[in-house]
Amino acid sequence: MSEEKVSKLKDYLTSYLFIIPAVLLFSVFSIYPIFKILQLSLLKWDGISLYPKFVGLKNFIEVIKDKIWWKSFLNAGIITLLALTVQNALALVLAIIVDKDIRAGEIYRVIFYIPPVLSGIVVGLIWNWIYNYDYGFLNHFLEVIGLGGLKRAWLSDPKLALFSVAVVHMWKGFGWGFIIFLAGLQTIPRNLYEAAQIDGATPWKTFLHVVVPMMRPVFFLVSILTILGTMQIYDIIVATTGGGPGYATEVPITRILSSMLGSSRFGYACAEGLIFGVVLLAVSLIQLRISAMMRNE
Amino acid sequence: MIYIFLISLFFITSCAKKTEEREIVIWHWMTDREDAFSRLAQEFMVERGIKVKFELYAPSEVYSQKVRAAAQTNTLPDIFGILGSPRDFASFIKAGFVEDLTMYMEENNGKWKNSFYPQAIETVSFKDGNMYGVKPGIYGIPIDMMNIQMICNTEILKKAGIEKIPETWEEYVDAGRKLKKKGINVFVSGWGEVWLLEAMATSFAFNIMGPEKVFNTFKGEVPYTDPDWIKVFSLFDTMRKEGLFIKDSITMVNKTAEQMFANGRSAFTFNGSWCINVYKGMNPNLKYSPCLLPKVNRGNPVYIWGGSGSWFVVNSKSKYKKEAIEFLKWLTSSQQQKFLTEETMNLPSNKDAAEKLKGLLKEFALGMKYVTHPNFWPVHETPEVIEKFDKGIQLILIGKKTPFQVAKELDKYKKEQLKE
């Protein structure tokens, strides 16, 4: 073997040696669990017994037939849609305002970032108090301003429960979008705004023709994070409605946990988890594809 | 020199191993008992020279997951508790993780066994011909007792002019109407935790149709569309129509319901005997009394859920099995049980310790005559049907479905399950 080849081989080996720890960690904590879940999803297992029974694809077939499972998907989808539109629109507006060198901008940055760093359970408990029918702040406020007729059981009314939970989620989540949008806005060169102003562009036109094109990658990043984060909503649901009333606020994660800990159907829960993962992966891939297509336009 | 030093070190460490300390490790989830358990462990060490280490893992969901994971990796402690349904308990036994304690219980003419309330023993036993195929026997040691009853705020009832605590369903509805007229909330419960709904509904079912018919329903021999079951579901419909509960109860967690009742925001609640300690912490001046569930069928007795509140099992693979059993015998003896009752305000599992109970503890203890519990039942409904049952009642309570619609759907689902 020539000296050059030996040197190249040494280089390769050294490089691989450096990535071994990362590969090992990734394999143990990411790859192995995926295969383990796949294996468990083919079994009928209560999580305790030493002899699980192989049932093939039965768990997957049952999950696909389970109407409540798909309802939970729909519920999470509705919350995601609201988060994508209302939450992100609010985050963007606030980011644009704070980007305009307003007075005490730093303070607003901190204030808007407080809800995301709070625990979902804590946020849920705070909003439980706000929404309480008898002594909650919201109903009390409505009465004070003369709108007592709008008093509702916000979390126990099946028509309102999902939207009430979505509001809590959006309140908790808009800070993330705000910070990312603000970071994106600050990368736009100021001279582009100045050029637009000289050309006589209105603020709306500046937004459409300067901000939107420059922020496209940021919009995609925020929307992917919003979809993935919101579809996996769990803690707020547990702290506010527990998935009720009935199945009104059930989401995929509460269903998976209910199968696992409530019914002790670990195999079924793993099948639910895999289907959920595949759907999320598909959504992310579609979105990346759209993003790539729009970049090429 | 170094050689001599290493040899000496080897001998020293070898000698140290011979005097190894016996230590029993216990896993539990009972945050309110942490201090009391630690003090008892210290006392046991002084008395018997065996170290006991209580390890707390809370909340209960986390504890439950930890125990399951430990079972898979064979790292269960010497003593632990099992949270979950009788099905889960049976799975732990069948997988060989739990020691059969019948032999120890029956020693000396059943001295240890007879020191407990019979209902406490029933909670931790499997009978001959049980549906899980577990060898009949006693597999756990009850630490305390509990029962779940209707609880009324006596001061509020007095204010509303209700002199007599309602004993029948009609009296209860009547009292509810009176309370409503005075602008007082009638009932609050943490129905967001659906097992409370299940406890209430099955207790009513036992009273309306008797236990046998309920069990026959679980077996699939009686449909959920039977008039008696419709009657059970209709009780919740009546509660909705009459406005007899705080609207938020449907999604409320029990802790919030406890807080509302403790603050005098409702005349009635449905809660377990553990509430004595909870209400004491929330409002020491609260005047209340347990009052059983109102009878719907006057010809049948009232039933309430109850039995052993918390119980421990011994790891069948433990190195210190003998010591673990010795500790549990000591822990459940009259003196230690009295101490636990005083410290934690839970009903003792030991009959002698329960003899001199006073006040609210005594009142709750009187309810033990009426208890039933899924752990005593010869058959159980599947978890999937139970979920549909609980959610169905929630749907009745919000007026989204009628009792008959819920019964019909439940019956259809049950039949599908039986086919499988």
DSSP summary character for residue A153 = -
Q: Taking the complete model, does pTM exceed 0.90, yes or no?
A: no
Q: At what angle do helices B383-397 and B403-419 cross, to 10 degrees?
A: 170
- What sign does the CA torsion over B249, B250, B253, B254 have? positive
What percent of chain B clears pLDDT 90, i.e. is strictly above it?
A: 74
Residues B339, B211 within the same domain? no
Q: What pLDDT does residue B241 have?
A: 95
* Count of CB atoms situated within 10 Å of the CB of B276: 22
Please tell me the predicted confidence (pLDDT) of residue B315.
95
Q: Which two tokens stand for residue A54?
A: 């192989």
- Do B276 and B403 belong together in one domain? yes
Q: Looking at the structure, do residues B405 and B283 belong to the same domain, yes or no?
A: yes
pLDDT digits (tens, 9 = 90+) for B131-143: 889 999 999 999 9
For residue B17, pLDDT beyond 60:
no
Helix-, strand-, coil-residue percentages of chain A, each rounded to 5:
75, 0, 25
Distance from CA of B344 to the nearest CA of A (A): 26
Nearest chain A residue to B94, by CA: A49
pLDDT value at residue B9: 57
Report DSSP state, residue B294.
Answer: P
CA–CA separation, A194 and B40 (whole Å): 76
| Cβ <8 Å between A246 and B71 | no
| Number of structural domains in chain B | 2
Give the Cα separation of B106 and B43 in Å (integer).
Answer: 27
CA dihedral B177, B179, B185, B187 (to 10 degrees): -70
> pLDDT band for position A297 (50/70/90)?
low
CA A128/CA B251 separation, integer angstroms: 10
Beta strands in chain A (DSSP E): 43-44, 53-54
Cβ-Cβ contacts under 8 Å for B339 (sequence gap 6 or more): B36, B39, B40
Are residues B333 and B192 located together in one domain of the fold?
Answer: no
Residue B125's SS3 state is strand
Shortest distance, CA A292 to any CA of chain B (angstroms): 42
Contact A264 B85 (CB under 8 A): yes
Q: Hey, what are B60's tokens?
A: 């209960």
Q: Does residue B1 form part of some domain?
A: no
Residue B104 pLDDT > 90: yes
Whether the pLDDT of residue A133 is over 80: the answer is: yes
Q: Residues B200, B316: one domain? A: no
Q: Report how far Cα B49 is from the mean position of its chain's Cα atoms.
A: 33
Give B167-214 pLDDT, tens digit per residue: 999 999 999 999 999 999 999 999 988 889 999 999 999 999 999 999
Q: Do residue B231 and residue B341 come from a single domain?
A: no
CA distance A2 to chain B (A): 50
Q: Based on the fold, state whether residues B268 and B160 are members of the same structural domain.
A: yes
- Please check whether residues B34 and B86 belong to one and the same domain: yes
Q: What is the pLDDT of residues B25-75, one digit of tens each?
A: 999 998 888 899 999 999 999 999 999 999 999 888 889 889 999 998 889
CATH of the domain at B210: 3.40.190.10
Residue B116: its pLDDT value, please?
93
Non-local CB neighbours of B29 within 8 Å, separated by 6+ positions: B56, B57, B58, B59, B60, B62, B63, B64, B81, B83
Contact A48 B194 (CB under 8 A): no
Q: Is the pLDDT of residue B353 over 70?
A: yes
Indicate the average pLDDT of chain B.
91
Q: What is the 3-state secondary structure (H, E, C) of A174-191?
A: HHHHHHHHHHHHCCCCHH
State whether ipTM is beyond 0.90.
no
CB proximity A18 to B under 8 Å: no
Alpha-carbon distance values, B180 to A120, B165, B187 (Å): 36, 16, 10
Q: Is the pLDDT assigned to residue A237 strictly greater than 60? A: yes
For position B10, what pLDDT does the model report?
Answer: 55
Average pLDDT, whole number, for chain A? Answer: 90
Whether residues B163 and B277 fall in one domain: yes
Contacts 24+ apart (CB under 8 A), B330-338: B330/B44, B330/B47, B330/B48, B331/B40, B331/B44, B331/B141, B331/B143, B332/B112, B332/B115, B332/B116, B332/B141, B332/B142, B332/B143, B333/B115, B334/B115, B336/B40
pLDDT tens digits, one per residue of B390-399: 999 999 999 9
B325 and B219 within one domain: no
Interacting residues of A151 by C-beta distance below 8 A, sequence separation 6+: A133, A139, A142, A143
pLDDT of B419 higher than 90:
no
In a domain, B168, yes or no: yes
Tell which A residues from 168 to 187 touch B, by Cβ distance under 8 Å: none
Q: Which domains does chain A possess?
A: 61-296 (1.10.3720.10)
pLDDT tens digits, A67-88: 999 999 999 999 999 999 999 9
% residues pLDDT > 70 (chain A): 99
Cis link prior to A245 (omega < 30° from 0)? yes
Quote the domain boundaries for residue B50: 20-143+309-359
